[in-house]
Amino acid sequence: MKHFVLFTFIMLFASITFALPTISDMINNPDIYNGKFLTVQGQAVGSVMKRGNYAWVNMTDGSQTLGFWMPYSLAKEIKYTASYDFKGDLLTVEGTFVAMSLEHDGDMEFDVSKIVKIIPGGKISHEINSGRVIFLIVIASLAFVLWILKRKFFTSKS
């Protein structure tokens, strides 16, 4: 029992000490993370927006999304960003969390200095849902029959 308690304590301590903060952690606790050099993971979403020699890349942890400001030379390494058709690249980046950027009108942001790792995303194949197709045919047929009935036999007096 003593060993189990010790193991649990060590694991808990390790997870608190070494776990990467999530994007939601930073957004929800800006005072704790402000100005800290961190390693963060997230999926690139939307568009890579080039601004001069830099670029904005919005990244999500699945719950919340934050803007990552990085040199365009780093942003060019991103091949896929998440959309309906694509799974975005999963990036591990190093840099500084800024709770209120004076450079960017007070926005909360993460200034990236290095991309540590990229797990590439890719095309998502959306299989057509045959059950829904059948339901569509049935309900569309019903609507069509009702339309014919309405036109032929039950035209309103107005």
Partner 1 sequence: MSKKIVYSDLKLINYHTAKIVETMGWVMAIPLVTALLFEEWNTAIDFGIGMAVSFAFGFALEILCRDHDEEMDWLHGMFIAAYAWLILTVIDAIPGYLSGHYASFLDAVFDVMSGFTTTGLVLIQRMYDLSIGMNMWRALLTFIGGQGMIVLSLSFLIGMRGGYMMYMGEGKSEKLLPSVTKTARAIWDISMIYLGVGTLALFIAGLAIGLKPVSALLNGLWIFMSAWSTGGFAPHSQNILYYHSMLYMLITMVIFIIGSFNFALHYAVMNKNRKEIYKNIETQSFFITVLITFTIVAIGLVRNNVYPNAVILFTKGFYQLISAHTTTGFMNIYPSQFGSWGTLAMVGITIAMLIGGSTSSTAGGIKGMRIGIIAKSFVFETKKLFMSPKTVKIQKFHNQEDIDLNNEIVKNAMVITMMYILSFVVGLIITLIYKYPIEKAAFEVASALGNVGLTSGITVPSMPDVLKVLYIILMWVGRLEFMAVIAFVAYPFIGAKRR
CB of 119 to partner 1, least distance (A): 16
Strand 37-51, strand 54-60: pairing: antiparallel
Site residues for partner 1, 109-148, by CB under 8 A, read 109, 124, 126, 128-129, 132-133, 135-136, 139-140, 142-143, 146-147
What gap in Å lies between CA 71 and CA 53, rounded to an integer? Answer: 6
What gap in Å lies between CA 21 and CA 36, rounded to an integer? Answer: 11
* Count of residues touching partner 1 (by CB under 8 A): 53
Q: Which is nearer to partner 1, 14 or 137 (CB)?
A: 137
Tell me the CA distances in angstroms from 43 to 21, 75, 89, one per residue in order: 14, 13, 6
Residue 122 near residue 90, CB atoms below 8 Å? no
Q: Which residues bind partner 1 (CB under 8 A)?
A: 27-28, 30, 43, 45-51, 55-56, 58, 60, 62, 64-67, 82-84, 88, 100, 102, 104-109, 124, 126, 128-129, 132-133, 135-136, 139-140, 142-143, 146-147, 149-150, 154-158
